[in-house]
Structure 1
Amino acid sequence: MNDLYFTALTEALHEAEICTPTLVLDKERLDRNIDHLIDVLNKGFDYRLVTKSLPSIPLLQYIMRRTGSQRLMCFHLPFLLQIVNQIPSADILMGKPLPIRAARHFYNWHEKQTSSMCFSPDLQLQWLIDSPRRLAQYDQFARDNNLTMRVSLEIDVGMHRGGFRNSSEFIAALQIIQSSEHLMLTGLMGYEAHIPHIPGILGGARRAFADARGRYSNFLQAVESELGKEALEDLTLNTGGSSTYAMYTDNSFVSEIAAGSALVKPKNYDVDTLEHHIAAAYIAAPVLKKVDRPEIPLSPALSAILRWTGFLPAKGAFIYGGNWLAKPVYPRETEQVHLHGRSSNQELYGFPKDTMIDEDDFIFLRPTQSESVFRQFGHMAIYENGKITDWWSVFQEEHNEGNSADSLLESAQKRSYRL
């Protein structure tokens, strides 16, 4: 990693008077990753933003403008409510099947919103169904409350994390939806994040990709056999993910691909399929205390031996915060000192003895994932043209506009929608 990059970023943070642990998003690098995504979308795909990996309303809105997409994939009830409230034009596909009580919470909440809310669930929301049992629950709920619910079926294309796997259950689900007056089949979703991780001895990514494609095609043939070829024309045929989206070269069997993490590229996404992407997010942690010749308590002699053998560093620093799902990247060869354990308050990191670092400088860590790490910081500092130019808020579990845990509990207690 270029030292000049982090030197400039440090200067920008100091100029902005930032003095606490901060999640920094490099907007120029984000744009480069979006450009790579658009190159694939131009081959004929629609794009669905994975909101759990991009957990910020301003970030989602920016990417939506850049890609021209209104399609979002949502995974968590409180965040669904925030998105509906703040991006009412969104077309939303749930990225995992939610308990039927979550659906009840949603409709209770939506019913109480003002008439000015433009979001229409029966036109803009697809619930994900993974099993006959859940399909029956949703069908019963829709009938009891006279709702039209759009459903997308999760299909197992090789990852084996749930979803319809055999043709008999899948065909039975199609028949139930076709006969229901309250359910509408709107799509299929086949996630295949396993593909880049298949070892060569099992055929590697190429074989796994071909296998997933074949499985998806079999489900499409079942839809055509059961409902007719015209039924496929308007379905959302979703697949892909950050580590696989670049493998898709034509839209002959799917209509849209989903991706999120690829646009900020946390460390867990250092895979061959994303080698053209660049990391766009870092944690900047202020250095609080420099430590020459770090020691463990009550053991100066043993500490000297540990430094000599490399189990303790020659130089270290206690930082502001710590214990994040992140790996240090700057200064070079920075490592967390494991003998001191983990700390969320003041964590010790070690450096080579010639490292130039001082109090109030920063060490930089690269998140291993974005979905939980981003939300630990409240806001992201936007880095652009050598300066911190803006602050973007992230999703919160508790929110003052009706989607806090207390509000959901109150909604459940009122039970205006029946189970």
Structure 2
Amino acid sequence: MRDYRYYQSAFAGIPKPFAFVDLDLLEQNAEQIGLQSNGKPIRIASSSIRSVGILKHLLQLDDCFSGVMCFSAPEALHLCEEGFDDLLLGYPVWEKSWLVALGEQIRQGRTLTLTIDSVSHAEHLEQIAREQGVIFPVCLDIDMSYDIWGLHFGVWRSPLRSLEKAVALASRVASSKHLLLDGIMGYEAQVASIGDRYPRQFFKNSLIRLLKRQSVKEAAHRRKELVKAIRELGISLRFVNGGGTGSLHHTGKEDAVTELTAGSGFFAPGLLDYYQDFHFQPAAGFALEIIRKPAEHIYTCAGGGYLASGSAGADRLPKPYLPQGVQLLPGEGAGEVQTPIQYRGMETLELGDPVFFRHAKAGELCERFSRLYCVSGGKVVDEMTTYRGDGLCFL
């Protein structure tokens, strides 16, 4: 773990607020992610990175990192312009103008796959592909949620919840002259994105771990059966994608899975602190400037209200990081234009000093800042723009 003075010295003279990436810790996390993959290639989830420079850096680190899972059509087109290839649109696209532009990229030889989960998606893409004279490679997004005891353990994502529905859609795609079934994906969000090590929540943590164990078995069975059924149709899949940072160590063991997806583990945001099975290094964060000292042990920083998406709760707040022991005030949290913190530690904090935070989620940090200061060996060695710094706002 880094200490306060390491970053205070490294970033001396940089106006606050700013965001940063610790390249040394980023690469440690990338190595750990690679080790958890069971030798399978890892597609990088761009939603957890949102910086062309960082994406390129990660893809160059190791041959195990191959391809990108994008979260929107405009983003995919931007990455095409930046020279990226093997792009999987992880979410359905409906807007015709974007599909036409993506079709043009496919016509030019770009490896780009669109995700669908319904006949309506298939028919819509088919019509546009017919008009353009192209073939759209598509990926079926299979629901991996787990229903038990009347509980829906997972996310509301895809309607493909049965083998019969998935096979029927696969057959529909295979019958089309304008669509190609390129792969299937299934994101077991209830395993990959739910923490099971929250403080003072023993019974809830225990229940989630039990549900995760059952869900891992169910997801593996579903994927195996679906891949078998699709092969029996005479369809050869280029890839079978699964997993997320929180489930790599499980999904990588499945014989049916040919590639994994990972994203948040590279930056290791605050929410990843609440997982029992692994621990990554905090590789990204932001610094706020102390501008007030309203009372003893209370320091007020400028800005800071960078809350994460998802179900509202205290774990979606930015997480005070350094100096060690710094805390948000329960009555105020992180504010729109100022954030008070409490600190009773050994460091002497003055007006103008930085306080370092971690965002609760990974890529959303980059929606607040135009650049990332990259530190290595105790000094800033590079600056990389975020999507926002490129003048872009995708979602």
- Common fold, TM-score beyond 0.5? yes
Cα distance in 1 for residues equivalent to 2:111 and 2:344: 55
* TM-fit CA distance, 1:340: 4.9
Cα distance in 1 for residues equivalent to 2:321 and 2:117: 40
Residue by residue over 1:356-402, the C-alpha shift from the partner in whole angstroms, topping out at 9 and shown as x without a partner, is 21112111111101222122111001010010111011113974xxx
Match of 1:374 in 2: 366
Cα distance in 2 for residues equivalent to 1:271 and 1:321: 26
Match of 1:299 in 2: none
Match of 2:96 in 1: 101
Cα distance in 2 for residues equivalent to 1:398 and 1:359: 32
CA 130–349 in structure 1, closer or farther in 2 if over 3 Å, else same: same
Residue by residue over 1:6-36, the C-alpha shift from the partner in whole angstroms, topping out at 9 and shown as x without a partner, is 211101111xx21211111111101111111
Structure 2 gap segments, 5+ residues each: 146-153, 197-204, 308-317
The question of whether the paired residues in 2 share the 8 Å contact of 1:242 and 1:258 is answered with yes
* TM-fit CA distance, 1:137: 1.2
TM-score (norm 2): 0.84
Match of 1:412 in 2: none
Within the candidate set 360, 365, 373, 2:357 is matched to: 365
Match of 1:53 in 2: 48
- Counterpart amino acid of residue 128 in structure 1: T
Within the candidate set 155, 159, 175, 1:179 is matched to: 175
The answer as to 2:324 corresponding to 1:332 is yes
- Counterpart amino acid of residue 329 in structure 1: Y
Match of 2:136 in 1: 149
Within the candidate set 124, 146, 149, 1:137 is matched to: 124
Cα distance in 1 for residues equivalent to 2:222 and 2:86: 26
What is the percentage of aligned positions where both structures have the same residue? 22
Cα distance in 2 for residues equivalent to 1:105 and 1:98: 11
Within the candidate set 338, 342, 351, 1:350 is matched to: 342
Match of 1:254 in 2: 257
**1:13-412 residue pairs with structure 2 within 5 A?**
13-14=11-12, 17-41=13-37, 43-68=38-63, 69-88=65-84, 90-101=85-96, 103-104=98-99, 106-107=101-102, 110=104, 123-158=110-145, 159-163=154-158, 164-195=160-191, 197=194, 200-201=206-207, 203-225=210-232, 227-228=233-234, 231-232=235-236, 234-272=237-275, 275-291=278-294, 293=295, 314-325=296-307, 326-340=318-332, 342-352=334-344, 356-396=348-388, 399=391
- Counterpart amino acid of residue 185 in structure 1: L
Higher helix fraction: Structure 1 or Structure 2?
Answer: 1
The question of whether the paired residues in 1 share the 8 Å contact of 2:371 and 2:383 is answered with yes
Cα distance in 1 for residues equivalent to 2:6 and 2:238: 48
Q: What secondary structure does 1:349 align onto?
A: strand
Cα distance in 2 for residues equivalent to 1:77 and 1:336: 38
Structure 1 gap segments, 5+ residues each: 112-118, 294-313, 406-419
* TM-fit CA distance, 1:320: 2.4
- Counterpart amino acid of residue 149 in structure 1: F
Cα distance in 1 for residues equivalent to 2:24 and 2:393: 34
TM-score (norm 1): 0.80
The question of whether the paired residues in 2 share the 8 Å contact of 1:238 and 1:258 is answered with yes
Cα distance in 2 for residues equivalent to 1:11 and 1:404: 32
Q: What secondary structure does 1:35 align onto?
A: helix
Cα distance in 1 for residues equivalent to 2:107 and 2:5: 48
CA 338–201 in structure 1, closer or farther in 2 if over 3 Å, else same: closer
Residue by residue over 1:116-152, the C-alpha shift from the partner in whole angstroms, topping out at 9 and shown as x without a partner, is xxx7566500000011211121112212222210000
CA 44–347 in structure 1, closer or farther in 2 if over 3 Å, else same: closer
Cα distance in 2 for residues equivalent to 1:171 and 1:329: 48
Query: Which entry has the higher C-alpha Rg, 1 or 2?
Result: 1
- Tell me how large the CA RMSD over aligned residues is: 2.5
